[in-house]
A and B are shown apart, each in its own frame.
Chain A
Amino acid sequence: MELQECKPIVEMKNIVKVYLDGTVALRGVDFDVCPGEVHALLGENGAGKTTLMKILAGVLKPTSGEIVLEGKHVRFSSSADALSKGIGMVHQHPALVPVFTAYENIVLGAYRPGARAEIEKLMEETGLKVPLDAPVESLPLGIQQKVEILKMLYRRVKVLILDEPTTNLSPLETRELFRVLRSLRSRGAAIVFISHKLREVLEVADRITVLRKGVKVGTVSAEEATPTLLAKMMVGREVEMVVSKPRVALGEELLVVRDLWVRSDLGTWAVKGVSFSVRAGEIFGIAGVEGNGQKELVEAISGLRRAEKGKIVIGGIDVTNKHPLEVYAAGLAHIPEDRQRYGLVLEMTVAENAILGVQRSPRFQQPPIMKIKWSEVFSHAREIIKNFNVQVPGLTAKAKTLSGGNQQKLVVGRELTKKPRVLLAVNPTRGLDVAATEYIQNLLASLKEKGIAILLVSSNLDEVLQLSDRVAVIYEGEFMGVARPEELTEELLGLMMGGYSLDKAREVLSRKTT
């Protein structure tokens, strides 16, 4: 399906990226973009889209491969270097100084006399209207993005890269952005549009390149692309890890969430009226591209973030807006998304980390001065290490000396040893090697037999599909639908993660077959 009708302004050839920790992000990817086109880069989380573009924008250095800009081989020393050579990237989190005004952000480091008039002219020509004198933090993300684009245009970039630009935009803002992109295209700009949203890609792109797990799946023209084709290219799976999924008779509802509304740190609604329940012996999976409200949902359930509206019940006890310790006491265990930041105190020992969160339990301390009963702590730690097969240099070694997999096993072991009724697991296998991943996944599956209700939040589709009894897809703080994994084809999932409700997605697919 290769097609080549235009003359690329920049070409990336055989790009390989290996991170310092050994993760291979890109395995020899080719990419190019032409003046006057919008080239979409499509793929799931972790497919390598952002890494590839960060290399083009000089933020990351490729392990190998070359970049040819306007016929010349180039090597960027920094993003500022790439920017000065005409390649600019608008990141997912805007690289703007929040307290600065739009104008200040645009001219930062590149002030020239007459800047203001120049920017006003640019706004006029492109239709990128922003209030120049408002601090950007007071502006909606859609406007902030326009500021970023203006910043790039003011610096006269030839290649403009946009990383998931519509993630935090309303449909109206998205439409506005697309209008601007088309206008820029007509002025001869080369635009790269990174996205996982099929609909949008189909709407705005001229060409579409799909990446999966660091490999380029193919490039198709907008005319030949269909949602079904793209979803399949994007999600299509290789060898599957086999996890035995025991069939368990479901028990009572142990976790009930009703009409939950939660705000993000920015004060916008991150979770918009989500309702679900998880029963004893069931794994309820929440799939979705990251940043669609998962973090806020999880924090609200565990008492770490205010629920503005709605109700959370664990094992029959109303825990809405209760202190985390009360929530844990009601029977919740929490495997947090970032073990190093939230799950462990890296500078403390393995034994000390083994009691984090249960340090006040009578088993581990003795009144009146709450002396820590080390023999109990050590035997508890030893128990975790043995039961969960954690490889440690010793109980008094600092947690930071463990490998990522063993750190995670320590956290998982600690949480499960609390004998929870409800387990909240967030991306439990992120960054783990195959063996550790398999171990954790099998462990979660086996917990069903113990009558634990598990809420699995993961951006890893394979994981969610293989482990869950029911799967919800979350998109912009709302469930697009709940279904059994067998019902969910790759195409359906791809569509739902891209913002189609389950019924809508079914309709699209049935239209295609008939």
Chain B
Amino acid sequence: MGLEKISGVFERIIPLADVLVAIAVGFVASGALMEVGGYNALEAFRSLFEYSFLDTYYLSSTLSFAAPIMLTALTFAVGVRAGVFNIGAEGQLYLGALGAVLVAAFHLPGFLYFPLGLALGVGFAVASAAVAGILKAKRGVNEVVSTIMLNWIAFWIVEYMRTYQIADPHDPSKTIPVPPQARLPLLISGTELSAAIIIAIAFVIATYYILWHTVIGYEIRATGLNPDAARYAGIRVDRSILASFIVGGVAAGLAGFLEVTGRPPHYAITTGLSNLLGLGFDGITVSLMGLNHPLAIIPASIFVAALKVGARGMQIEAGVPLEMVKAVQGIIIISLAAPGLIRTIQARRRAKLVEEVKPVAG
């Protein structure tokens, strides 16, 4: 048992090294881009760090950004576990947010806003996810294409609702806000950090539990790892895939719901969905950095959230446009796509050794 534990540790350390290498490549390459663009890269990275961790307010911002993106990361991760690339979290997140503000348009008993908004938002998101899931499982439609189309459809539907149906009469740049009764309490007053982070972490842990400690999760993972063996074991592969889309839809819908019910000062959706834009795609970075494991997604989401928050500092102090951090994310993902450069080299060396030793066996 002891030996196995050690080997298990090594098994986890090697991919961790991959992630660290990818992060390093991301920073070095983007640093080079900044220098070429005429900026001071070191100054930029220093302020990036300063404005994301070194102050209670910024740290709380970092944590509050971590909440939605750990959930959208979960959407991607559960998909990968079932063997599909579900990149529909972006649109599902918009729909989740829509549910939260939509209920505000109705006169209801105060205590109903939260549960109804949640049900509506998650319901919309799951409906969108289910379209992609059914098209994939029943018709074999490529989920990358379908989820991107659904993202755009969700974007324009929510834009339509924002401008035509639920615009704030006092401030047309945003929707009517979530009623106070449905807002999540702040954990530290004067900051952006609300109970959303607690709910998000709880949901991530619950999903981890579903994936690794229930039969449904077991079947989803078996489907993703070896569909042939899953089929031989009597697992209905199409149902497992659909289940992964549904779980992913719940996560992304929840992310959108939390983003408007737990984020001061607006508690609403702003013009062009600007306060939601990109939170779904950030999740892809988070998931890949967390090796698509729910528990590893939590620290990875804090890292990516820090990039987002620190980017403002980077802009203020070093004048670097804050979108630069997205480029960093892209480079990290590209580096992760070519997995284990180190491992490939090691494996090749090992194969060579075997070949050199072999003739003796003959």
Contacts and interface: CB of A to CB of B under 8 A. Distances in A.
Direct contact, A vs B (beta carbon within 8 Å): yes
Nearest to B354: A20
Interface in A259-279: none
Given A24-B362, A397-B4, A345 B222 contact: yes
Contacts of A394: 1, 3-5
Contacts of B8: 396-397
A394 B9 CA distance: 14
A369 interface: yes
B358 A324 contact: no
A73 interface: no
Interface stretch (B26-34, B193-201, B224-232): B224-232
Nearest to A18: B362
B215 A370 contact: yes
Interface of B: 1, 3-5, 7-8, 11, 210, 213-216, 218-219, 221-222, 225-226, 228-234, 351, 354-355, 358-359, 361-362
Interface of A: 16, 18, 20, 22, 24, 63-64, 302, 304, 323-325, 328, 334, 336, 341-348, 352, 356-357, 359-360, 364-365, 369-372, 374, 393-394, 396-398, 401
Given A22-B358, A341-B226, A357-B232, 14 more contacts: A18-B358, A20-B355, A20-B358, A24-B361, A64-B359, A304-B232, A324-B234, A345-B226, A347-B225, A357-B233, A364-B215, A365-B215, A372-B215, A396-B8
17 contacts: A18-B358, A20-B358, A22-B358, A304-B232, A323-B234, A334-B232, A342-B228, A342-B229, A345-B222, A347-B226, A365-B214, A369-B210, A372-B215, A394-B5, A397-B4, A397-B8, A401-B7
Given A348-B222, A348-B225, A356-B233, A397 B354 contact: no
Contacts of A359: 215, 218-219, 233
B358 A369 contact: no
A341 B227 CA distance: 9
A373 to B, nearest CB: 10
A496 to B, nearest CB: 30
Contacts of B362: 16, 18, 24, 63-64
Contacts of A20: 351, 354-355, 358
Given A341-B228, A342-B232, A393-B7, A356 B222 contact: yes
A342 B221 CA distance: 15
Contacts of A345: 221-222, 225-226, 229-230
Contacts of B7: 393, 397, 401
Given A356-B233, A374-B213, A397-B4, A18 B361 contact: yes
Contacts of A365: 214-215
A370 B221 contact: no
B355 A344 contact: no
B221 A348 contact: yes
A394 B229 CA distance: 22
Contacts of A371: 213-214
Given A18-B358, A20-B358, A345-B229, A328 B215 contact: no
- Please report whether the interface of chain B is mostly helix, strand, loop or mixed according to DSSP: helix
A360 B5 CA distance: 29
- Please report whether the interface of chain A is mostly helix, strand, loop or mixed according to DSSP: loop
A393 B3 contact: yes
Contacts of B214: 365, 369-372
Nearest to A23: B361
A324 B228 CA distance: 13
A397 B25 CA distance: 32
The 3 closest A-B pairs by CB, nearest first: A394-B4, A325-B234, A357-B233
A178 to B, nearest CB: 37
A281 to B, nearest CB: 27
B217 to A, nearest CB: 8
Residue among A22, A302, A394 with most chain B CB within 10 A? A394
A304 B231 contact: yes
Contacts of B229: 341-345, 356
Contacts of B225: 345-348
B215 A63 contact: no
Nearest to A350: B4
B232 A360 contact: no
Contacts of A343: 229, 232
A193 B5 CA distance: 53
B353 to A, nearest CB: 11
A393 B4 contact: yes
A357 B3 contact: no
Residue among A336, A345, A371 with most chain B CB within 10 A? A345
A369 B228 CA distance: 26
Contacts of A336: 232
Contacts of B230: 345
Contacts of A304: 231-232
A18 B359 contact: yes
Nearest to B218: A359
Given A359-B219, A370-B215, A372-B218, A346 B361 contact: no
B271 to A, nearest CB: 42
Contacts of A328: 234
Contacts of B355: 20
Contacts of A346: 225-226
B225 to A, nearest CB: 5
Contacts of B228: 341-342
Nearest to B231: A304
Contacts of A396: 4, 8
Residue among B3, B4, B216, B355 with most chain A CB within 10 A? B4
Nearest to B232: A342
Nearest to A369: B214
Contacts of A64: 359, 362
A257 to B, nearest CB: 20
A102 to B, nearest CB: 30
Contact of A357 (B11, B221, B234, B361): B234
Contacts of A398: 11
A359 B210 CA distance: 14
A22 B361 contact: yes
Given A20-B354, A397-B4, A352 B359 contact: no
A24 B234 CA distance: 37
